[in-house]
């Protein structure tokens, strides 16, 4: 599992997410490579995308088989999962077996209905701060560039996806947009909305039964998409 941590491309690290990646490794019985990719403000787009693609190339170069690799990530890391898949397709590289997105930040413009309507129920993210960061990351680029905001992408040719999101999140519509794009492209999509769960709730698997269940479902997904190879 190649894992990309969240943190709006300015925060977080493999260390902050180790409780989640360790639990995922345990439940999925898989090795996890958690990438310490470059972030803002020291770096800007597409630095993190260059790093994720290089990490995937490294796995292939060291003998890992693509059909035994699953990409996974949360929030901005979920964005990075999706844009990495799109970039791999552009480069003609072999696709991984599947990908998991937890509460993906799929539209950096932050213009969705849930982004405004769920402000009161969002307990993890400051909507104004996330919107400002989105503007920073977009900069002078097209805000609908699929490699920035994969909600606007054509997902044709991507591998099976699993998406988990809480119903009270400002990023709820981002997850729904990813589901819609994936189904339009004919992909296999396992999608779940969890009532009342906070942003990236699987992080709290030590106290939330729902998070434990989500981890089990993620492990089952990893086993299913890599089975037989």
| Residue 14 vs residues 5, 17, 176: alpha-carbon distances, Å | 6, 5, 27
Rounded CA-CA distance 102/144 in Å is: 21
Beta strands in 43-186 (DSSP E): 70-74, 98-102, 161-166
Of 122, 164, 169, 205, the catalytic one is 169
Could you tell me the two tokens for 49? 């995308």
Kindly report the CA angle at 222 between 221 and 226, in degrees rounded to 5? 115
Q: Residue 67, by phi and psi: left (phi above 0), alpha (psi -120 to 50) or beta?
A: alpha
- 199 given a catalytic annotation: yes
H helix or E strand, kind and range, residue 177? helix 172-184
Of 75, 103, 114, 149, the catalytic one is 75
Which phi and psi angles does 219 have, rounded to 5°?
-65, -40
- 114 given a catalytic annotation: no
Of 5, 137, 164, 199, the catalytic one is 199
- 137 given a catalytic annotation: no
Q: At what angle do helices 47-61 and 76-91 cross, to 10 degrees?
A: 60
Can you give the three-state secondary structure of 104-120, one letter per residue? CCCCCCCCCHHHHHCCC
Catalytic residues: 75, 169, 199
């Amino acid at each position: 599992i190649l894992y990309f941590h969240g943190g709006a491309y300015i925060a977080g690290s493999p260390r902050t997410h180790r409780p989640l990646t360790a639990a995922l490794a345990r439940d999925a019985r898989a090795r996890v490579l958690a990438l310490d990719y470059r972030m803002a403000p020291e770096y800007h787009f597409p630095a993190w995308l260059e790093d994720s693609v290089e990490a995937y190339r490294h796995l292939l170069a060291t003998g890992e088989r693509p059909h035994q690799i699953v990409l996974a990530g949360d929030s901005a890391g979920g964005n990075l999962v999706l844009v990495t898949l799109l970039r791999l397709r552009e480069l003609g590289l072999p696709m991984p077996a599947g990908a998991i997105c937890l509460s993906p930040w799929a539209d950096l413009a932050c213009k969705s209905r849930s982004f405004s309507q769920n402000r009161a129920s969002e307990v993890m993210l400051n909507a104004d701060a996330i919107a400002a960061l989105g503007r920073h990351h977009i900069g002078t680029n097209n805000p609908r560039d699929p490699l920035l905001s994969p909600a606007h992408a054509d997902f044709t040719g991507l591998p099976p996806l699993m998406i988990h999101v809480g119903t009270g999140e400002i990023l709820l519509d981002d997850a729904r947009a990813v589901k819609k794009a994936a189904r339009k492209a004919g992909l296999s999509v396992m999608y779940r909305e969890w009532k009342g769960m906070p942003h990236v709730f699987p992080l709290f698997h030590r106290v939330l039964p729902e998070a434990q269940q989500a981890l089990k479902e993620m492990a089952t997904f990893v086993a299913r998409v890599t089975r037989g190879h």
